[in-house]
Chains A and B, each alone.
Chain A
Amino acid sequence: MKNVFILLTCTFFISNFSSFAQDAKTIDATDLFGDLRGRHIGPALMSGRINDLETHPKNPRIIYAGAAGGGVWKSNDAGTTFNPIFDKYAQSIGAIAIDPNDPDNTVYVGTGETWTRNSVSIGDGLYRTKDGGNSWKKLGFDKSERIANIIINPNNSNEIYVAVLGALWSDSEERGVYKSIDAGATWTKILYVNTKTGCADLAIDPKNPNVLYASMWEFRRTAWSFESGGEQSALYKSTDSGKTWAKIHNGFPNGKLGRLGIAVAPSNPNILYTVIEAEEELRKGLYRSDDAGANWKQLNNDFEITVRPFYFSRIVVDPKNHEVVVKGGLSGSISRDGGKTFKNLGNMHSDIHDIAFDINDSDRLYAATDGGVYRSWNGGTTMEIVENLPVSQFYQISLDDAEPYNIYGGLQDNGSWYGPSASEGGINAKDWNSIGYGDGFRVLKHPAKNIIYSEMQGAENVWRYDVDNKLVKTIQPLPLEGYAKLRFNWNAPMTVSKFKHDRIYIGSQFLHKSEDMGNTWEIISPDLTTNDKTKQEQENSGGLSMDNSGAENHTTIFTIAESPLDENIIWVGTDDGNVQVTTDGGKTWTNTVANIVGLPKNTWTYHIEASSHDKATAYAVFEGHARGDLNPLYLKHQILENHGLISSQLK
Chain B
Amino acid sequence: MKTLRTLLIVLISLFSVNSFAQTAGDIISNYFENTGGLEKWQSLKGIKMSAKVNQGGMEIPLEIIQLTGGKQMTVITFQGKEIKQGVFDGTTLWSTNFMTQKAEKSDQESTDNLKLDSNDFPDSFLGYKEKGYTVELVGKETIDGAETYKIKLTKEQITIDGKKEDNVTYYFFDTENYVPIAIQSEIKSGQMKGQISEIKLSDYQEVDGFYFPFTMIQGIKGQAGQPLAIDKIELNPSVDNALFQFPEETTLPKK
Q: Which residues of A contact B (CB under 8 A)?
A: 251-254, 280, 282-283, 285, 298-303, 307, 334-337, 340-343, 346-347, 363, 378-379, 381-382
Contact = CB atoms under 8 A, between A and B. Distances in A.
B191 A382 contact: yes
B108 A341 contact: yes
Contacts of A335: 107
Contact of B193 (A251, A282, A382): A382
B253 A254 contact: yes
Interchain residue pairs A-B with the least CB separation, the first 5: A343-B107, A337-B108, A302-B104, A303-B97, A341-B107
Nearest to B105: A341
The size class of the interface chain B forms with chain A is 20 to 34
B40 interface: no
A251 B252 CA distance: 8
B161 A381 contact: yes
A300 B161 contact: no
B223 interface: no
Nearest to A363: B161
Nearest to B108: A337
Nearest to A287: B250
A378 B192 CA distance: 13
SS class of chain B's interface: helix, strand, loop or mixed?
loop
A253 B254 CA distance: 8
Given A251-B253, A336-B162, A381-B189, 16 more contacts: A252-B253, A282-B251, A283-B251, A283-B253, A300-B105, A302-B102, A302-B105, A303-B97, A303-B102, A307-B99, A337-B107, A341-B106, A341-B107, A378-B193, A379-B161, A381-B193
Contacts of A378: 161, 193
A251 B105 CA distance: 22
Nearest to B162: A336
Contact of B254 (A280, A302, A303, A342): A280
Contacts of B189: 381
B202 interface: no
B111 interface: yes
B246 to A, nearest CB: 11
B82 interface: no
Given A285-B250, A378-B193, A302 B161 contact: no
B100 interface: yes
Interface string B208-249: 000000000000000000000000000000000000000001
Contacts of B193: 378, 381-382
Residue of A252, A341, A347, A363 with highest tally of chain B CB at under 10 A: A341
B29 interface: no
A355 to B, nearest CB: 16
Contact of A254 (B102, B110, B190, B254): B254
Interface string B182-194: 0000000111010
Nearest to B250: A298
Interface string B69-102: 0000000000000000000000000000101101
Given A303-B104, A337-B108, A283 B250 contact: yes
Contacts of B97: 302-303
Contacts of B108: 336-337, 340-341
B253 A299 contact: no
Contacts of B107: 334-337, 341-343
Nearest to A324: B162
B190 A381 contact: yes
Contacts of B136: none
A337 B162 CA distance: 11
B109 interface: yes
Residue of B102, B108, B110, B250 with highest tally of chain A CB at under 10 A: B250
A363 B108 CA distance: 18
Contact of A282 (B105, B162, B190, B250): B250
Contacts of B161: 336, 363, 378-379, 381
A482 B201 CA distance: 55
Given A303-B97, A379-B161, A343 B110 contact: yes
A86 B191 CA distance: 35
B251 A303 contact: no
A307 B100 CA distance: 10
16 contacts: A253-B253, A283-B251, A285-B250, A299-B250, A302-B102, A302-B104, A303-B99, A303-B100, A334-B107, A336-B107, A336-B109, A343-B106, A343-B190, A363-B161, A381-B189, A381-B190
Interface in B90-147: 97, 99-100, 102, 104-111
A326 to B, nearest CB: 12
A401 B161 CA distance: 55
Nearest to A333: B107
Nearest to A252: B253
Contacts of A307: 99
Nearest to B248: A282
Residue of B99, B189, B249 with highest tally of chain A CB at under 10 A: B249
B101 to A, nearest CB: 10
A558 B249 CA distance: 44
Contacts of A252: 253
A372 B191 CA distance: 19
B158 to A, nearest CB: 14
Contacts of A346: 190-191
Nearest to A299: B250
Residue of A347, A363, A381 with highest tally of chain B CB at under 10 A: A381
A282 B191 contact: no
Contacts of A300: 105, 250
Nearest to A379: B161
A252 B253 CA distance: 7
A301 B250 contact: yes
Contacts of B249: 282, 301
B159 to A, nearest CB: 10
A336 to B, nearest CB: 6
Contacts of B254: 254, 280
Interface string B138-180: 0000000000000000000000011000000000000000000
Contacts of B109: 336, 343
Contacts of B105: 300, 302, 340-341
A125 to B, nearest CB: 38
A282 B162 CA distance: 31
Contacts of A382: 191, 193
Contacts of B251: 282-283, 298
Nearest to B161: A379
A306 to B, nearest CB: 8
Nearest to B159: A336
Nearest to B98: A303
Nearest to B92: A341
Residue of B99, B105, B107, B251 with highest tally of chain A CB at under 10 A: B107
A251 B254 CA distance: 10
A335 B106 CA distance: 10
A363 B106 CA distance: 21
A114 B191 CA distance: 30
Nearest to B191: A347
Contacts of A334: 107
B30 to A, nearest CB: 39
A45 B161 CA distance: 32
A381 B163 CA distance: 14
A336 B109 CA distance: 8
Contacts of A285: 250
A337 B106 CA distance: 11
A649 to B, nearest CB: 50
Contacts of A251: 253
A506 to B, nearest CB: 29
Contacts of A299: 250
